[in-house]
Structure 1
Amino acid sequence: MFSHKFSCGDFQTLTKMTETGITFDPPVYEQRYCATIQILEDARWTDQISKVVEFGCAEMRFFQLMRRIETIEHIGLVDIDEPLLMRNVTSVNPLVSDYIRRRVSPLNVQILHGSVADSSEELRDTDAVVALELIEHVYDDVLAKIPVNIFGFMQPKLVVFSTPNSDFNVIFTRFNPLLPNGFRHEDHKFEWTREEFKNWCLGIVEKYPNYMFSLTGVGNPPKEYESVGHVSQIAIFVRKDLLEMQLVNPLVSKPNIDKESTPYKLIHSVEYPFYVDTRTEKEKIWTEVQIEFQRFKRHFNSCEVEVDTCQDTCSMPIAVLLDRLEHVGATKELIEELIQENNLKVENECVFIDNSDQESDWSDPYELSDRLSQEGVLVDQEREEECWDQSPES
């Protein structure tokens, strides 16, 4: 096993038990989604996660969060329920805002009808696998094939499983009996205790020693019931080379597809719009120079010391400009070349900036960035948040 801590620390959640029932704020499915996003974005491996496959994607709600991770360029959404996939097929299409504020990298999304137990060409070269509240829905024959397909055939760098913690059911039964099948959901084939889930994970790493795992969970128990653990337990499997450890066995370069596997059926595929910066490096740096000029002018014109704010020019030390632009690869020679090409006056190692037309200046450098983005320069901006009316199973 290895130790895993969420990068943003413990979730600020509230579990409340009243005389009539128990509530989770935010809902458990939201906590599960947020936990999985944090796992995918862990600084130790996020830049190595380009292709993600989600098994049991259902209504594809988790996809709406996952697609915002810019380092992910391929997402496969797999489910055995083809009618369900067909009803939600358009939910993966880009929004209008995706065309206005484009991604910085490409994103291909595929909706695939198939089983988590079947190997298929579409699963090759997968970096991360996500299977949230899935394994408890499958029969033993499928459950036995899941590790073979994921850890044997796919060999991903990262795998995230979540499943209900049956130790927590003692709290649920205080208010309502479990369903006739003895579980929380009518389609559950089993619900594991924490010990049973841990043993399943141990069996996987014993058979596939290239992996280590860590156990965590979401949905805190009420006070005085801490011994039952989380309502939903999570296992994080990491391939050892992702932790800079030596692999026990070499990876299979092109593992064979199980002859008994049913090939996946492609339901829908879409390419997201992304920004392609066609400017030369010199043009990019000139844009950065202009932004720094505007920032300097803003500071110059708002300075509290006594200066003649009506003067037509202000002078910015080239050394200051260089210091601010070193992170984009600017050199003193290049900056001087750009200054010369744009006919700017230089004196005493300072460049003179036109300050005559104050009304045409942007009062904030980010306003300039917005203006530049309209001219083809990408500017980061948070996309709109989305919400869903219906909550998935807890």
Structure 2
Amino acid sequence: MFCYKFPCGDFQTLTTMTETGITFDPPVYEQRYCAAIQFLEDSRWTEQIKKVVEFGCAEMRFFQLMRRIETIENILLVDIDEPLLRKNSISVNPLVSDYIRHRLSPLNVRILQGSVADSSEELRNTDAVVALELIEHVYDDVLSKIPSNVFGFMQPKLVVFSTPNSDYNVIFTRFNPLLPNGFRHDDHKFEWTREEFKSWCLSIVEKYPNYMFSLLGVGNPPKDLESVGHVSQIAIFVRKDFLESQLENPLVTNPKLDEESTPYKLVHSVDYPFNVDTRTEKEKIWNEVQIELNRFKRIANSSENEIDHYQDTYKMPIADLLERLHYVKATKEILGELLHENNIKVEDEYVIIEDSDEESQWSDPNDLSEHLSQEAVLIDQEQDQEEEYWDSNPENGT
């Protein structure tokens, strides 16, 4: 085992127990999603997480957060329930705003019908596996095959499992009895205590010693009842070479498919639009210089401050321009070259801006305002679409 701490710090959540029940703010499923996103975005490995497989993707809710991670280029959404996948497949398509605010890297999304227990060609070269509240829904024959498929065949860098903590059920039963099957959900095949979950994790790293794991949880217990632990327990497995440790065994370069496995079935596939920036570094800087010079001129025309203003000529301090260009790593030397190459005058550490100078794409502030207004409308449409989706797919807090 190893000790893992969330990169953004402990969750600021609220658990409230009343006479009629217990509530979680935010809901526990949102806390699970937030935890999983923090795992994927951990600076120690996020740049090398290019392909992610989510098993038990259900309504594709976690995908809506995962797709926003720019470094991920392939997402496989796998579930055994084909009708459910087809019902929700439209929710992975790009929104209108995705065609305006292009990603900086490609993203291919595939929805696949298949079992978490089956190896399949599509699973090769996976970097991260996420399975939230999945394992408690499978029978023993499937559960026993999950480690060999994930840690033996796929060999990802990162694996995340979450499952209900049955120790917490003593609190739920204060308000309502468990279901006739003895669990929180009618499809659960088991619910593990914290010790049972830890034992399962230990058995995995014993068989696959290239991995270490850490146990965490979300859904805090009420005050004075901390001994029951969290509502949902989480295990994060990390391959030792990403924890600055040596691998116990060499990775299998071309693992064999299990002959008894059923191949996956492709249900839906989509590519997201992305921006291919072919500009040189100097071209990028020059484009930003044009924008900043025109912005300075617009501010000078619309304000009554003490900016030097001589008819159709404006003077911008080079130091101010460099400060505005720090995000593109512009140096004074490169800036001087660009100003000289584009016939922009420089006098006494000031850039001389004339109306005849070439203007940027948004030289007219009204054009820029109109463009931003259009984008704001499209962003609002995206938010409305997402809210409509969640409203039509309600889920309880756990």
TM-score normalised to the size of structure 1? 0.89
Aligned to 1:225: 225
Whole-angstrom CA distance in 2 between matches of 1:308 and 1:195: 72
Matched, 1:50 2:42: no
Describe the shift of the 1:70–1:336 C-alpha distance in structure 2 as closer, same or farther (beyond 3 A).
same
What are the equivalent positions in structure 2 for 1:1-394 lying under 5 Å apart? 1-294=1-294, 296-297=296-297, 306=306, 308-309=308-309, 311-318=311-318, 320-322=320-322, 324-325=324-325, 327-354=327-354, 384-385=382-383, 386-387=386-387, 388-389=390-391, 390-392=393-395, 394=398
Q: Residue deviations 1:220-268, cap 9 Å, x none?
A: 1111211101111111111111122211111111111111111111111
Q: Residue deviations 1:123-180, cap 9 Å, x none?
A: 0111110000000011111111101000111000111100000000001111111111
Whole-angstrom CA distance in 1 between matches of 2:122 and 2:363: 52
Q: Residue deviations 1:80-113, cap 9 Å, x none?
A: 1111111112111111111121111111000001
TM-superposed deviation, 1:279: 2.9
Q: Residue deviations 1:312-331, cap 9 Å, x none?
A: 32333445544654653535
SS in 2 for 1:195: helix
The answer to whether the 8 Å contact 1:291/1:368 transfers is no
Describe the shift of the 1:327–1:19 C-alpha distance in structure 2 as closer, same or farther (beyond 3 A).
closer
Letter in 2 for 1:281: E
SS in 2 for 1:268: strand
Q: Report which stretch shifted further, 83-92 or 298-307.
A: 298-307
Letter in 2 for 1:104: L
TM-superposed deviation, 1:384: 4.6
TM-superposed deviation, 1:348: 3.2
The answer to whether the 8 Å contact 1:294/1:362 transfers is no
TM-superposed deviation, 1:20: 1.6
Describe the shift of the 1:309–1:316 C-alpha distance in structure 2 as closer, same or farther (beyond 3 A).
closer
SS in 2 for 1:88: helix
Whole-angstrom CA distance in 1 between matches of 2:370 and 2:248: 50
Whole-angstrom CA distance in 2 between matches of 1:384 and 1:226: 40
Letter in 1 for 2:217: G
SS in 2 for 1:267: strand
Whole-angstrom CA distance in 2 between matches of 1:253 and 1:121: 14
Whole-angstrom CA distance in 1 between matches of 2:307 and 2:325: 27
SS in 1 for 2:145: helix
Whole-angstrom CA distance in 2 between matches of 1:361 and 1:202: 63
The answer to whether the 8 Å contact 1:109/1:270 transfers is yes
Letter in 1 for 2:179: L
Whole-angstrom CA distance in 2 between matches of 1:147 and 1:369: 54
Whole-angstrom CA distance in 1 between matches of 2:294 and 2:371: 13
SS in 2 for 1:185: coil
Q: Report which stretch shifted further, 66-75 or 382-391.
A: 382-391
TM-superposed deviation, 1:391: 3.6
Residue identity over aligned pairs, in percent, reads: 76
Describe the shift of the 1:205–1:300 C-alpha distance in structure 2 as closer, same or farther (beyond 3 A).
same
Q: Report which stretch shifted further, 260-269 or 293-302.
A: 293-302
Gap regions ≥5 residues in structure 2? none
SS in 2 for 1:62: helix
TM-superposed deviation, 1:296: 4.5
Q: Residue deviations 1:267-291, cap 9 Å, x none?
A: 1111011112233333211111123
Whole-angstrom CA distance in 2 between matches of 1:282 and 1:321: 15
SS in 2 for 1:71: coil
Letter in 1 for 2:218: V
The answer to whether the 8 Å contact 2:96/2:382 transfers is no
The answer to whether the 8 Å contact 1:291/1:369 transfers is no
Q: Residue deviations 1:170-215, cap 9 Å, x none?
A: 0111111111111111111110000110111111111111111111
Whole-angstrom CA distance in 2 between matches of 1:382 and 1:152: 45
Whole-angstrom CA distance in 2 between matches of 1:316 and 1:107: 41
Describe the shift of the 1:338–1:143 C-alpha distance in structure 2 as closer, same or farther (beyond 3 A).
same
Describe the shift of the 1:302–1:261 C-alpha distance in structure 2 as closer, same or farther (beyond 3 A).
same
Describe the shift of the 1:83–1:315 C-alpha distance in structure 2 as closer, same or farther (beyond 3 A).
same
TM-superposed deviation, 1:347: 2.4
The answer to whether the 8 Å contact 1:120/1:257 transfers is yes
TM-score normalised to the size of structure 2? 0.88
Whole-angstrom CA distance in 2 between matches of 1:233 and 1:297: 57
